[in-house]
Amino acid sequence: RYAAAADLADLGATVAGPQRGFALWAPTAASVSLCLYPDARGAADAHIALTRDPATGVWRGGDAQATHGRVYA
């Protein structure tokens, strides 16, 4: 059903200039959010909802807040 995902090479975190992009294969998830932290010890200060591609089951998103040095999960 998700054969189109087999050829994807950009899963995980990607860098495009100052912005970061994120892609996660989770075809059965109802929703996916990326949590951003100012550092490894603090609480998350931003949540970015990712968008699902129904053809691949991959969730994608990015945000200008996801800058160099931020911690994400």
Is residue 34 predicted with pLDDT exceeding 80?
A: yes
Lowest mean pLDDT among 12-21, 34-43, 45-54, 64-73: 64-73
20 pLDDT band, cuts 50/70/90, is: confident
**Residue 6 phi, psi (nearest 5):** -65, -30
What burial class does residue 23 get, using C-beta atoms within 10 Å of its C-beta: 0-12 exposed, 13-18 middle, 19+ buried? buried
Q: Residues 6 or more apart from 47 whose CB is under 8 A from it?
A: 33, 34, 35, 36
Average pLDDT of the residues of the chain: 84
What is the pLDDT at residue 58?
93
pLDDT of 51 strictly over 80? yes
